[in-house]
Structure 1
Amino acid sequence: MTSVRCPWCLSTPEYIDYHDKEWGKVVKDDQTLFECIVLESAQAGLSWITILRKREGYRRLFHQFDPEKVALMNEQDVERLLEDASIVRHRGKIEATINNAKIFLKIAEEFGSFSDYYWAFSDHKVLANPVTSMADVPAKTELSERIAKDMKKRGFRFFGATTCYAFMQATGMVNDHLLDCIARSD
């Protein structure tokens, strides 16, 4: 019997590993949520495999995704990062990462944690979609639009409704694994 996986992950070993071990698993740890925000925002307009292959560069250059350290980065850091090919060298995305770290910390302070703020949008529940083919998976939803709008109002950048939906999938708020996928758990 052949194991069934979501078809989007079948093209590379990196995708399969990410799919099997991370994608769609519930994330409530603030630092991991921040990592997902950074990576999903960096992905805008690019392929996810590009970001996965640069993940270690992001990890190294953005202080292991510690939002407190990233929030302290300055223009000199931006200029240095623009020269480092181990990440996507896009000024707007680099500056957004630093900006978003500051906003992330404000939200965490206001709500007790970023996780509490974020997961309240789904009433702290996983939204398990009955996905039988990738055609069933939307690019964005009313909920991703609502979350993205609130985050934008608070000052987030490079985080629209489509990026937000990918974030929701990655962090397990939405379960979009195929119903017969080996990584699906309901």
Structure 2
Amino acid sequence: MTESATARTVRVWDPFVRVFHWSQVALIGAAWLTEDGPKWLHENAGYLLAALIAIRLVWGIVGSRYARFSDFVRGPRAVALYLGELSRGRERRHLGHNPAGGAMIVTLLTTVTATILTGWLQTTDMFWGSSAMEKIHEVAAILVLVLAAIHVAGVVFESLRHHENLVGAMIHGRKRVDGKEAP
């Protein structure tokens, strides 16, 4: 970035958030590609995802400003209000995650965790060979892909709507400051 471009931007996504995000993309992709084997690679992708999520949960409490859950997790009312404003073209741009984006993060973290947990449970004596647990794991994994597609669509929409490359921001960590952002 040029010096003038840097002066009009602010660091939003810290290195851990960016590494977490892209590692999650890669590991979920690896898990999907290895669902039929090699089993060790599929399982290790799950274990690595579990470790990443555990660290992310801690980072969501003690991390940088925009990484903290307190910065972007909002209740259903705030999400509904934001979506209403969005549908009328009156939503404010957020430097961090907007309320809908925050809800998506919580939903994705929960669904990925459920997928990991149900996969791991199938390795325990209690659920070894359980077709019900296998089906729950499969449904959760499919839901992760559906949510990821909605997430990508939201990123594309917001990028176009606010004239901002959000994928680039998740690579270099910086976003434009124009003084009109929501607090």
Q: Which has the higher helix share?
A: 2
